[in-house]
Amino acid sequence: MFKLKKILLGILVALLLCPNVMAEEIKLAPNAKGVVLMEASTGEIIYERDADIKYAPASMTKMMSMLLFMEAIEKGNMSWDEKVRVSANASSMGGSQILLETNEIMTVEDLLKGVSIGSGNDATVALAERVGGTENHFVQMMNEEAKRLGLKNTNFKNSHGLDEANHYSSAHDMALIAQGLVRHEKILEFSSIYETYLRANTDRKFWLVNTNKLVRFYKGVDGLKTGYTNEAGFCLTATAKKEDMRLIAVVFGEPDSTMRNNEVSAMLDYGFNVYAIERVLSGESNIGKVEVIKGKKEKAILVPSEDINILYQKSVGKKNITYKVNVDKLKAPISKGDIVGYIDIFENDKLIRSVDVTIMESIEKANILGLYIRYILDIVKGL
């Protein structure tokens, strides 16, 4: 194992000394099956191999479950302190678990800790039944979300990831799920915990230790999900952030957990050593104004719907980036967060990306008196 680490380190040093060597010319995570290294904010793929081949995803399945759990909470359909009664179906789950008992009551927050830290199949099913009514319906929701995210090689048959016929995903699809999940930053507060306790003040105190050891042993790693079954082998989707750049690394089918952790660490090293991002615009940048017909305010300030970053190789330098805002006149009322147009991002005059545009603050519709006063003032200004 020490020899493997020296070989991987040697590769990274060679890349830094020879900046024209591209990731495609080396083989990151050589012992894995499907492999992807993505920069999260741009979605750009830094490295991939067999990324669209379908494999059993094991407990990385739970990333899609967690994505739906987070959406339910943020939409107000479920609350952190809500108490969930555990069904017989949930408590009967095998594999990794937090030893839930039938009719036991546990908060959503503690159940989510059981999912994200301990990879509890029982906790996953308990929350899946809470959100979907039944696990079967929740799995339908998972597959609908997969279509919405544009996943091409994913089909779920359960919420937890135990091996089942026709239950599969790919490294690229898992990276896209992870990209969606990290946008819900609250989940990282759970997935970054190395150890904690459930039922702390009871005689059923349960010690949770994160199945993702990199949250302790690799600086910057704060998630996301390990996986293992006989069919899947050792899998991991890890995410790490340094300064403004967040990477997502996915591996399927590693031979053991040590190799999995070493190879994912080497992937992250490669990404952070060779690449950086430039922030072109933040989600609060004023990118112009547009007229609002019949609004209490005559103009709305336009902002991107998200931060706009550009990935570049450190050895090559920053790219020549320009942008163009495309928004027509608006009509009140209009709310902050509403999509009102888009902004095209160009590299050397070539369109590389489009991002939605919204407004900085909501604008209500003006009443008749307000519109009349504005009309009179416009006449006076024209005299």
Residues annotated as catalytic are 59, 62, 119
- 370 in helix, strand or coil? helix
CB 272 within 8 A of CB 251: no
CA–CA dist 119, 224 (Å, integer): 11
Provide φ and ψ at 110, rounded to 5°. -70, -35
CA–CA dist 165, 91 (Å, integer): 22
CB 181 within 8 A of CB 224: yes
Cα 307 → chain centroid: 15
Structure tokens at 355: 């991002």
Pairing of strands 35-39, 83-85: unpaired
- 239 in helix, strand or coil? strand
Biggest CA–CA distance in the chain, Å, is 84
Structure tokens at 13: 């040093």
Q: H/E/C letters for each residue in 122-161?
A: HHHHHHHHHHHCCHHHHHHHHHHHHHHCCCCCCECCCCCC
Structure tokens at 303: 């902002």
Report how many helices (DSSP H) and strands (DSSP E) the chain contains, helices first. Answer: 11, 17
CA–CA dist 42, 259 (Å, integer): 28
Q: Radius of gyration (Cα) for the chain, nearest Å? A: 24
CA–CA dist 357, 365 (Å, integer): 20
CB 146 within 8 A of CB 172: no
CB 341 within 8 A of CB 334: no
Helix/strand/coil percentages in the chain, nearest 5: 35, 30, 35
Pairing of strands 206-209, 221-229: unpaired
Nearest one of 264, 226, 223, 273 to 245, comparing CA atoms:
273
